[in-house]
A and B are shown apart, each in its own frame.
Chain A
Amino acid sequence: DGGITQSPKYLFRKEGQNVTLSCEQNLNHDAMYWYRQDPGQGLRLIYYSQIVNDFQKGDIAEGYSVSREKKESFPLTVTSAQKNPTAFYLCASSYRAEGDTQYFGPGTRLTVL
């Protein structure tokens, strides 16, 4: 079954801790993305990567870091520098073809205690 998986589904973090959210895809997509969703808001772009070993900041990258060592994987680390990390995080992927559609994973709900 082809698709995008995210883990864990729910994540709890104490203040001052770094946490890493997992995103894996087996769709052979080149590009991968991380978005954040807050209540009553649309999605906002955190980071994106078009190819392995390359990634770019999105609109709200402060307090986050990513890596892209494998085509299939694009983990997101929420660092202690992120002031308000409680949110729903969605990973997406797409081909690099012009205007190609992005497909989304099921999301991770992060709560800071």
Chain B
Amino acid sequence: AQTVTQSQPEMSVQEAETVTLSCTYDTSESDYYLFWYKQPPSRQMILVIRQEAYKQQNATENRFSVNFQKAAKSFSLKISDSQLGDAAMYFCAYRSSSYSGGGADGLTFGKGTHLIIQP
């Protein structure tokens, strides 16, 4: 079974600064998908970014980018120019690929990192 570990229960950053959230995972599969979701106080889960394991290029969405290190099984999220609206819980998640014998059997989540933005 796959596991996802987020080692930082809480992070704090000054507004307009850059912060990196860590995520590591354990899997024996070669093909899979990784996601970062944001959960603000409303508790709605919102997709931030996704990465296909077969792609070497790191995914980027505006101020959000990832550092995907497949050999190290690491998937960190970098938030540039932090804004007050970025304050939330951030969850890293793993999804198996059907080509690895997995499929539509859901996401495996880490326990989350609480991001605080200091004005």
Return the chain A residue nearest B98 by Cβ: A98
In angstroms, how far is the closest chain B Cβ from the Cβ of A103? 7
Judged by a CB distance under 8 angstroms, whether A50 is at the interface is yes
Judged by a CB distance under 8 angstroms, whether A104 is at the interface is yes
Contact flags (1/0) for B100-111 with A, using CB distance below 8 Å?
Answer: 000111111111
Q: Does the CB pair B47–A45 fall under 8 Å?
A: no
Residues of A within 8 A of B46 (CB): 104
Q: Does the CB pair B107–A102 fall under 8 Å?
A: yes
Return the chain A residue nearest B97 by Cβ: A99
- Partner of B91 from the list A42, A92, A94 (CB cut-off 8 Å) is A42
Return the chain B residue nearest A48 by Cβ: B106
Residues of B within 8 A of A107 (CB): 43-44
- Partner of A99 from the list B33, B44, B105 (CB cut-off 8 Å) is B33
Q: Does the CB pair A103–B44 fall under 8 Å?
A: no
Q: Which residues of chain A (82-108) have a CB below 8 Å from chain B? A: 88, 90, 92, 94, 96, 98-99, 101-107
Residues of B within 8 A of A41 (CB): 111-112
Residues of A within 8 A of B37 (CB): 104
Return the chain B residue nearest A106 by Cβ: B44
- Tally B residues with Cβ within 8 Å of A: 29
- Partner of B4 from the list A42, A92, A101 (CB cut-off 8 Å) is A42
Residues of A within 8 A of B105 (CB): 45, 48, 56, 58
Q: Does the CB pair B106–A96 fall under 8 Å?
A: no
Q: Does the CB pair B97–A104 fall under 8 Å?
A: no
Interface centre among A44, A58, A99, A104 (most CB of B within 10 A): A99
Q: Does the CB pair A96–B104 fall under 8 Å?
A: yes
Judged by a CB distance under 8 angstroms, whether B68 is at the interface is no
A90 to B45 CA separation, bound complex (whole angstroms): 9
Q: Which residues of chain B (16-59) have a CB below 8 Å from chain A? A: 32-33, 35, 37, 42-47, 50, 52
- Residues of chain B touching chain A, judged by Cβ–Cβ distance below 8 Å, are 4, 32-33, 35, 37, 42-47, 50, 52, 91, 93, 95, 97-99, 103-112
Q: List 13 A-B contacts (CB under 8 A).
A: A33-B107, A42-B110, A43-B45, A44-B109, A45-B106, A48-B105, A90-B45, A92-B45, A94-B104, A98-B97, A99-B52, A105-B44, A106-B42
